[in-house]
Amino acid sequence: LVGLPGWTISSIMYSSLPSELPWSPGFSTLSHLRVDNQKVIVNKHNELRRAVNPTARNMLKMNWNPEAASNAQRWADQCKMSISVFCGENILQATYPQSWSDAIQNWYNQVANFKYGTGAIKDNAPIGSYTQVVWYNSYEIGCAVAYCPQNKWQYFYVCQYCPAGNNAADLSKPYKQGPTCGDCPNACDQGLCTNPCKYMDTYTNCATLKELFGCTHSLVKEKCPASCKCTNEIK
């Protein structure tokens, strides 16, 4: 009985000062402790997730996760490029303080390099920030920003997504294509599913293990709780 562990890809972006400076907030206004920023971050993600093309039948609605936000702040405060093992992650380094909406839009804009079912349309074209923003079962998010005056890119934005998206084996299909809310007809909020599975499988082949050995098998029971306990939920 062999389980196959999955692995994920985190994404990093850089943003320089444009020739025409857009309106930008003061750094102090960007704190993740402000409820208005939490709402902007969550609503912006959900707005983009609703608008994917082709449409998604299993896209979960995102909610704020204070623990993820606290960890994102700890990570941003290091002011150095390293990838956290806590959930999935998007990073943006900028030379000026961008609004949270603009920062998230920057990640999403990698969609220009992406084709559903194919992945990157050119070799080595960055897509990981986009795919994490729209990864179907990442339904909790926490973000933070740090000011790093010693860095070339002084403003360090981090968002962490739980559970992690960007499974390398499925990167070209960050969600299941189909009618909006097709997999959650009884748990749908304006095109997004509201029935996440609260458990996580350790292995990527849990569906096969469940079929072959059943959930009474000790290893399947331990390593595949989502497959065993979630029947109608999105997992």
Structural domains in the chain, sorted by start: 11-170 (3.40.33.10), 197-235 (1.10.10.740)
CA distances from 111 to 17, 65, 189, 220 (A): 22, 25, 24, 37
Q: Is the peptide bond before 149 cis (omega within 30 degrees of 0)?
A: no
Residue 106 corresponds to which tokens in the numbers above?
A: 């920057």
Amino acid at position 2, single letter:
V
Q: What is the mean pLDDT, run by run of 10 residues, along the chain of 235 residues?
A: 44 50 64 94 99 99 97 93 80 93 97 98 96 98 96 94 93 98 98 97 93 96 96 94
Question: Which positions ≥6 away from 70 have C-beta within 8 Å?
Answer: 142, 144
